[in-house]
Amino acid sequence: MTMSKSMHHTARKIVVKLGGSTLEGLNEAFFRNFKALQNEGYEIIITHGGGPAINRALEKENIESYTINGLRVTSEEMIDIVQSTLIGKVNPALVQQLNAAGIPAIGLNGFDAALLESTYLDQDVYGFVGEVVRVNTQLLDTLTAAGIVPVVACIGMSKEGQALNINGDTVASGIALAVHAESLLLVTDVAGIRIKDDYQVTAVETDIAGWIEKGHIYGGMIPKVQGAVACLQAGIPAVQIVNDALQGTTIKKEG
Ligand SMILES: Nc1ncnc2c1ncn2[C@@H]1O[C@H](COP(=O)(O)OP(=O)(O)O)[C@@H](O)[C@H]1O
Ligand SMILES: CC(=O)N[C@@H](CCC(=O)OP(=O)(O)O)C(=O)O
């Protein structure tokens, strides 16, 4: 029997999402860990948020904002500010840090080669907030195969060409699903999931819903664990929620 050669690009992939709170000062240890993963043969795709930078830009314009379930309700006047902050400021600053550390990186957002096709999550409730419908994985494959790290800002593009604000964690899990990543790493400002007083080293997917219901997980942690559950259910073996020293919680399907 002969084995047919797969047409798929089969390199092992990791998606790393950098939360807004971690972006400004990535430390040397982070870049070391990053290069170690590349040297092991992993192709890495970076996605990022920028919540704190968006907050500052909105404050400057005296615009108040609020979140529901960790998602920022985004009005028409806000989406322009979100778009220009993430694509114009946060993304190039991160790309610069990577390039300076010797990691060739290219900045992208949902509009580039229709990278993130999106629809409104629920326009009546959230306004200009999107969810990921389709990812141009071919673009990502082409770049990573050429040794270039894609750095994706979490702005989606609707069919009509409208920019949509997508939570960074939602983009990260959407891309991880689309490229069949081996793992998803959500880097944030806390050492993983804290339940009462204890940071969890491991968690199983079935714990998550109850923790949200009881209020142990709230705010910005909600889109992270929801993205994690979607990845685990689609067969991605593990999702990690960690701080910049890569300490935190590993979430798995079963204990
Ligand atoms: N159970 C929990 N464990 C840890 N952090 C939690 C939990 N529930 C809510 N949070 C909050 O989630 C925050 C991380 O989300 P967020 O601020 O959106 O970070 P990022 O910008 O990295 O996406 C933490 O700083 C913490 O305030
Ligand atoms: C819809 C939604 O919530 N969008 C986020 C996008 C930025 C983000 O996700 O930033 P962090 O990774 O720092 O949380 C927002 O407007 O803040």
Q: What is the pLDDT of residues 63-100, one digit of tens each?
A: 999 999 999 999 999 999 999 999 999 999 999 999 99
pLDDT of residue 8: 52
Q: Which residues pair with 239 in a beta bridge?
A: 184, 251
pLDDT of residue 11: 85
Q: Where are the domains of the chain?
A: 13-252
Hey, what are 133's tokens?
């419908």
DSSP annotation of 89 reads: I
Q: Is the pLDDT of residue 144 over 70?
A: yes
**1 Cα: distance to centroid of ligand 2 (angstroms):** 51
For the chain, how many helices (H) and strands (E)? Answer: 10, 16
| DSSP string of 123-171, one letter each residue | HHHHBSBEEEEEE-HHHHHHHHHTT-EEEEESEEEETTS-EEE--HHHH
pLDDT of residue 2: 42
Mean of the pLDDT values across residues 133-145?
98
Tell the residue nearest (CA) to atom 16 of ligand 1: 220
Three-state secondary-structure class, residue 97 = helix
Tell the residue nearest (CA) to atom 2 of ligand 2: 167
Q: Is the pLDDT of residue 232 over 60?
A: yes
The pTM of the full predicted model, rounded to 2 decimals, is 0.95
Tell the residue nearest (CA) to atom 23 of ligand 1: 19
Q: Is the pLDDT of residue 1 over 70?
A: no
Instruction: Return the ligand 2 atom nearest residue 20 CA.
Output: 13
pLDDT of residue 6: 44
% of the chain surpassing 90 pLDDT: 89
% of the chain surpassing 70 pLDDT: 96
Binding residues for substrate: 50-51, 72, 165
Q: Which residues pair with 117 in a beta bridge?
A: 134, 157
Tell the residue nearest (CA) to atom 16 of ligand 2: 72
Tell the residue nearest (CA) to atom 7 of ligand 2: 49
Instruction: Return the ligand 1 atom nearest residue 20 CA.
Output: 21
Instruction: Return the ligand 1 atom nearest residue 186 CA.
Output: 22
Residue in the block written with tokens 């830009």 = 57
Question: Distance between CA atoms of 237 and 38, rounded to whole angstroms?
Answer: 19
Q: Is the pLDDT of residue 198 over 50?
A: yes
Instruction: Return the ligand 1 atom nearest residue 169 CA.
Output: 23
Binding residues: 50-51, 72, 165
pLDDT of residue 4: 43
Residue in the block written with tokens 């999107």 = 130
Q: Is the pLDDT of residue 3 over 70?
A: no
Question: Distance between CA atoms of 192 and 207, rounded to whole angstroms?
Answer: 14
Measuring CA to CA, which residue among 154, 153, 147 is closest to residue 128? 154
**220 Cα: distance to centroid of ligand 1 (angstroms):** 5
Q: Is the pLDDT of residue 227 over 90?
A: yes
CATH 3.40.50.150 fits 13-252, yes or no: no
**203 Cα: distance to centroid of ligand 1 (angstroms):** 16
pLDDT of residue 27: 85
What angle separates helix 221-233 from helix 205-213, to the nearest 10 degrees? 150
**191 Cα: distance to centroid of ligand 2 (angstroms):** 19
Hey, what are 33's tokens?
């860990």
Report residues whose beta carbon is within 6 angstroms of any ligand 2 atom: 19-20, 49-51, 54, 71-72, 82, 129, 154, 165-168, 220
Average pLDDT, the chain: 94
